[in-house]
């Protein structure tokens, strides 16, 4: 049975990758390409349907990304979302203009037509809006499918040509039955079959890597996190002993990280693992550096330098494998040259020098964290690795606000160890997406043993998420928070105050830097 593909054209939305994720949840293969993609490339992909993402621009701006009219002549079902709908209307000679009342957040939406796109949905649903422009006049052949009190054309469609547009975002969880709307487009309109699964992805990647690598050796940057660990096991299955793993101690690792990684992968998995202690080099480079972007880039560049030095000791090395994920790419650079705004750089994708001698293998570059966890299960990795909380490439350097010093690292390592121990004791660890400490560059007055103290503040960050793109703070019981606070203050020298971060993503990010 053939594998149907939904092509998503990225116009710069931070939600673009969520569209891909929702489609994969429905067991249909999806890929993201720039809105500037050539017509020939689209024809080679042979998509069963095309989705136009949202974006931060207004269609009447001079710099606004355009939609190639020829795409609309391919006879492929199309769904435009937010900006995707507006550029669709503009391209088809409809009218788009600025709305008198900006619509952002939840809005009650009324369904005017229950065929096709809104099949089986109730008469009214809650939708998630994010726009200052709206469709004023629909193109010829289109009709109204849904509206809100503020937006007349909340959804439109040309059933004959199978071209649809929605002003709201069905891909986010805030839209009621959003997945059903996407499902209706994929299965009822684009006539896809649910044939894609991660087991197929694993098999295809193993074969792809074998062909790509040939007789050469591959170096894996193994950190012990779920991404690099899963990548290492996948590569091991693909090329066996040609995989050479290098574990770099960059000086900003968690407590007992070195010992645990060596024990798991060298002793238990029997991987060819070389340990490089470069902690002093990294810490020297970070002296006097306060800016988080500079810290990330310094660690990324130094990481590659250390790898290249280690690579020279191994013959016939051509490739470096990394566990780069979709959210890393989206938050670091404009995806595929598209108009997405940069949020922060990740060392996997933002810190690579132009003259790097090793070619990259990034098997998970288009996957989300939960998908990598599923692959880890398929490959037989232990639960201790599969369920491990995400850890940033720049490590504790971005959990220390300001300059990184050996003394602050010691304080933060101990605090994080206390936090992890308590949430594991209360069986919360596997229910929380990510929990960690942030050391603030502030000192406050406290009292310990009738003596005045002037010590650091540590912030506890704990969030729940599916894919790391959106997150909400974890509702840890007050009694457990109290135990965490008391234990950190009593056990960790240098901290006399603990606070709890209750920000969601967006508008905040998960990591503080």
Please identify every residue annotated as catalytic.
Answer: 82, 169, 171
Dihedral over Cα of 151, 154, 159, 161: its sign: positive
Strands annotated E in 149-264: 155-158, 163-166, 217-221, 243-249
Q: Identify the burial level of 453 via C-beta atoms within 10 angstroms of its C-beta, where 0-12 means exposed, 13-18 middle and 19 or more buried.
A: middle
- Could you count the other beta carbons within 10 Å of the beta carbon of residue 435? 22
Cα 230 from Cα 363, distance rounded (Å): 10
Structure token pair of residue 21:
């994720």
Contacts of residue 156, defined as CB under 8 A and 6 or more positions apart, other chains included, come to 85, 89, 135, 138, 142, 143, 144, 145, 164, 165
The counts of H helices and E strands in the chain are 15, 18
Cα–Cα nearest to 269, from 303, 311, 227, 240: 240
Both tokens of residue 486?
């008391």
Containing 333, the helix (H) or strand (E) segment is none
- The DSSP code for 185 is I
Q: Classify residue 338 by burial, with Cβ atoms within 10 Å: 0-12, 13-18, 19+.
A: buried
Taking residue 429's Cβ as centre, other Cβ atoms within 10 Å add up to: 16
Q: What is the CA radius of gyration of the chain?
A: 25
Name the token pair of 295. 């810290």
Task: Say if CB 15 and CB 53 are below 8 A apart.
Answer: yes
| Three-class HEC string of 7-73 | EEEECCCCCHHHHHHHHHHCCCEEEEEECCCCHHHHHHHCCCEEEECCCCCCCCCCCCCCCCHHHHH
What are the Cα distances from residue 255, in Å, to 19, 259, 415, 419?
37, 9, 10, 12
Q: Are 429 and 387 in contact (CB under 8 A)?
A: yes
Residues in the chain: 513
Burial label for 291, CB within 10 Å (0-12, 13-18, 19+), is: exposed
Q: How far apart are CA 308 and CA 282, in angstroms?
A: 15
Q: What are phi and psi of 454, to 5 degrees?
A: -140, 90
Instruction: Give dist(CA 288, CA 427) in Å, integer.
Output: 40
């Amino acid at each position: 049975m053939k594998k149907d593909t939904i092509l998503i054209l990225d116009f710069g939305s931070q939600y673009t990758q969520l569209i891909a994720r929702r489609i994969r949840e429905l067991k249909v293969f999806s890929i993201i390409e720039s809105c500037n993609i050539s017509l020939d490339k689209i024809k080679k992909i042979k998509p069963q349907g095309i989705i136009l993402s949202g974006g931060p621009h207004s269609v009447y701006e001079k710099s606004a990304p355009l939609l190639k009219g020829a795409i609309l002549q391919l006879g492929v079902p199309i769904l435009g979302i937010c900006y995707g709908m507006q550029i669709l209307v503009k391209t088809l000679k409809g009218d788009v203009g600025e709305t008198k009342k900006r619509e952002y957040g939840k809005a009650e939406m009324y369904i005017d037509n229950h065929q096709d796109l809104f099949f089986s949905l109730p008469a009214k649903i809650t939708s998630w809006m994010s726009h200052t422009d709206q469709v004023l006049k629909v193109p010829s052949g289109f009709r109204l499918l849904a509206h809100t009190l503020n937006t007349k054309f909340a959804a439109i469609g040309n059933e004959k040509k199978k071209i649809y547009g929605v002003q709201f975002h069905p891909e986010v969880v805030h839209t009621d039955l959003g997945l059903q709307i996407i499902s209706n487009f994929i299965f009822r309109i684009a006539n896809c079959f649910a044939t894609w699964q991660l087991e197929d992805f694993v098999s295809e990647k193993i074969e792809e890597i074998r062909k790509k690598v040939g007789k050469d050796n591959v170096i894996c940057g193994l950190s012990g996190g779920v991404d690099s660990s899963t990548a290492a096991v996948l590569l091991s299955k693909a090329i066996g002993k040609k995989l050479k793993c290098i574990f770099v101690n960059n000086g900003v690792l968690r407590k007992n990280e070195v010992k645990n990684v060596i024990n798991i992968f060298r002793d238990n998995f029997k991987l060819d693992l070389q340990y490089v202690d470069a902690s002093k080099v990294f810490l020297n480079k970070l002296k006097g550096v306060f800016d988080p972007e500079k810290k990330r880039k310094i660690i990324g560049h130094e990481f590659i330098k250390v790898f290249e030095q280690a690579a020279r000791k191994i013959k016939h090395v051509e490739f470096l494998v990394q566990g780069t994920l979709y959210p890393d790419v989206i938050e670091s650079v404009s995806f595929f040259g598209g108009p997405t705004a940069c949020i922060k750089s990740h060392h996997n994708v933002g810190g690579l020098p132009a003259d790097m001698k090793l070619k990259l293998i990034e098997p998970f570059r288009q996957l989300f964290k939960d998908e990598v966890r599923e692959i880890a299960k398929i490959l037989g990795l232990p639960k201790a690795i599969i369920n491990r909380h995400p850890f940033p490439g720049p490590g504790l350097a971005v959990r220390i606000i300001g300059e990184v010093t050996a003394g602050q690292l010691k304080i933060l390592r101990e605090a994080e160890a206390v936090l992890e121990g308590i949430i594991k004791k209360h069986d919360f660890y596997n229910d929380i997406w990510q929990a960690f400490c942030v050391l603030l560059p502030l000192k406050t007055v406290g009292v310990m043993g009738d003596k005045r103290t002037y010590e650091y503040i540590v912030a506890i960050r704990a969030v729940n998420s599916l894919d790391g793109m959106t997150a909400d703070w974890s509702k840890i019981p007050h009694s457990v928070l109290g135990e965490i606070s008391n234990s950190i203050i009593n056990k960790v020298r240098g901290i006399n105050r603990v606070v709890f971060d209750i920000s969601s993503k967006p508008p905040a990010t998960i990591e503080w830097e």
